[in-house]
Chain A
Amino acid sequence: MVMTTHEEKMRTVRFRVAATPHIVVNSDICRDSGCSLRACVYVCPANLFVPLDDGGILFNYEQCFECGTCYIACNQEGAIRWSYPDGGYGVTFRES
């Protein structure tokens, strides 16, 4: 199948999920700054950022590509903190 939904795309990627998140979103900063841009919601290639009604952001680190785009795109200093997951964990590309 050539045309695929995002869910179908994500099913082709292998992840070894670490016990602790390597990306932390501080929703207080999103809320307090009144961030309306919500860049993270749009740019994340894995679609891992979910906007909440209260202005916060719900984030799921488990299917992260570790690309760093959210961190680069976010214009609220300190809202996204990230490092790499522990060695051997996280995304494992096989084909790309």
Chain B
Amino acid sequence: MNAPAASESFDVIVVGAGPAGSTAALLCARAGLQVLLLERGEYPGAKNVSGAAFYGSAILNELIPNWWEQAPVERYICRRDIAFMSPTTSVALDFHCAGEGYTTPPYNGFIVLRPRFDRWLAAQAEAAGAFLLTSTVVDDVLRDDRGRVIGVRVRREQGDIRGKVVIACDGVNSFLAKKVGLQREFHAHELSLGVKEVLGLDPALIEDRFRLSGDEGIAYEYLGAITEDVHGGAFLYTNRDSLSLGVIGQVSSLVERRKRPYELLERFKAHPAVAPLVRGGKLREYSAHLIPESGWTMQPTLYTDGMLVAGDAAGFCLAAGLYLEGMNYAMQSGLAAAETAIDACRQNRFSARALSAYRKNLKRRNVSTDFRAYRHAPAFVNSARLQNLYPEVVASGMEQLFRVDGNPKRKILPLARHLMRQYQLKPGEMLRDGYQMMRAYLW
């Protein structure tokens, strides 16, 4: 479409055509609202990077039945592998489910490539009637004399565009939420940097190597020495004819240890447990992105007069060890924001008070409930002992348990005592960590 004229006015302006923004725009457009969806990239997804394991299939299925039949998906996830690593050893939990909902519709998760997937999703919003305008940066919001948000200012000639509600889905760095004063500046320990590669590999080879049939896919996640002493982890996902793999490092910890992220990526690929999986892969693209890993503690004020915040911009990324989910929460929060905006338009009320229904909608969509439930998990996952000590202890324990060298076999308890001496583990600290773990995951 052509750029909207300055005089043109919209019901809803959505900033950012990622999963949050496109979902919000789709729902608003279906409700008959005039929707403008703004994207700074050349196309939706051009600036976006994830692993990307997408666990929002059921959510998207509500909006677009059997969406996977038309969307660019790579493989559905029916296997997950979570591994603790030492420099030489890997101890993994291997999960395989051929049950209903994992290998049958609506599927539990899909591996996707964001430039393709995001582009498709934005096209669905367009098909529903939203105006998509790409290559357009939003620099600021417009406000009336009482400070209420009444539109956006884009970096173009005559760039003021009026809208009754602005939904900021402008990603982890959300300049808009910060401009409006809804979000503070972040600390380096709250964010992680992910660096990623896509390695091309023959589909038949992928199926053989990873023991997959047809469209099955596997998601590997790694914790421990794979990132050396940097707090973080690594991942490897099977695409149709490529692998997506990457290393994630807490920014503060990369700085403290003076580690270059792409060097960690090379070490990851060279690890004895990983090298055979990636062998023969041909680099197609290298990429990087920040991840708002602290979840609950970095959430902004979620709304103000005339404006809502959703997706990564609102910190809706659950990095809780067992879970590494962002796209599903982006969509759920996008839907909650859209529902709020639709109601606001019906009642013609756009004050912060009217938009406060967003909180209720986020709860109903199970966003705030999940983030509240797992609010202690990100700090636990990024704690020093869990990152640098326990994976090594587990790996070394298994090494000793399985070693047959003619010496008498140790039973578990003496072995545990030996490990505690070997790694100078303090019972008090272990109790405390055990409590932190239980608080993070058990209740």
Contact = CB atoms under 8 A, between A and B. Distances in A.
A72 B288 contact: no
B115 A93 contact: yes
B137 A86 contact: yes
Given A2-B281, A45-B261, A66-B47, A83 B287 contact: no
Contact of B188 (A8, A73, A91, A93): A73
Contact of A65 (B50, B255, B270, B289): B289
Contact-residue bracket for chain B: 35 or more
Contacts of A84: 40, 137, 175
Best-surrounded residue of A2, A83, A90 (most CB of chain B within 10 A): A2
Given A9-B262, A68-B172, A96-B198, A43 B288 contact: no
17 contacts: A2-B278, A2-B281, A4-B197, A9-B286, A12-B283, A43-B251, A45-B261, A65-B289, A67-B289, A68-B173, A72-B187, A72-B290, A84-B40, A87-B154, A92-B47, A95-B287, A96-B115
Interface string A7-18: 011101100100
Given A1-B283, A12-B285, A72-B251, A94 B115 contact: yes
B155 interface: yes
A8 B270 CA distance: 17
Interface in A4-59: 4, 6, 8-10, 12-13, 16, 37, 39, 42-43, 45-47
Contact of B261 (A1, A43, A72, A91): A43
B193 A93 contact: no
A58 to B, nearest CB: 17
A86 B135 CA distance: 8
A13 B43 CA distance: 16
Contacts of A37: 255
Given A1-B283, A2-B279, A43-B254, A83 B288 contact: no
Contact of B255 (A73, A88, A92, A96): A73
Interface of A: 1-4, 6, 8-10, 12-13, 16, 37, 39, 42-43, 45-47, 65-69, 72-73, 83-88, 90-96
Given A2-B279, A43-B255, 9 more contacts: A1-B283, A2-B199, A13-B285, A69-B290, A84-B40, A87-B40, A93-B45, A94-B285, A95-B198
Contacts, number: 140
Interface in B250-276: 251-252, 254-255, 258-262, 266, 269-270, 275
B357 interface: no
Nearest to B192: A69
A15 B374 CA distance: 38
Interface string B281-297: 11111111110000000
Interface string B44-64: 011111100000000000000
Given A2-B199, A2-B280, A3-B270, A88 B135 contact: yes
4 closest cross-chain pairs (CB), A and B:
A88-B135, A45-B288, A9-B286, A96-B287
A53 B311 CA distance: 42
A39 B137 CA distance: 28
Contacts of A4: 197, 266, 283, 286
A16 B172 CA distance: 22
Contacts of A92: 41-43, 46-47
B254 A73 contact: yes
Contacts of A16: 42
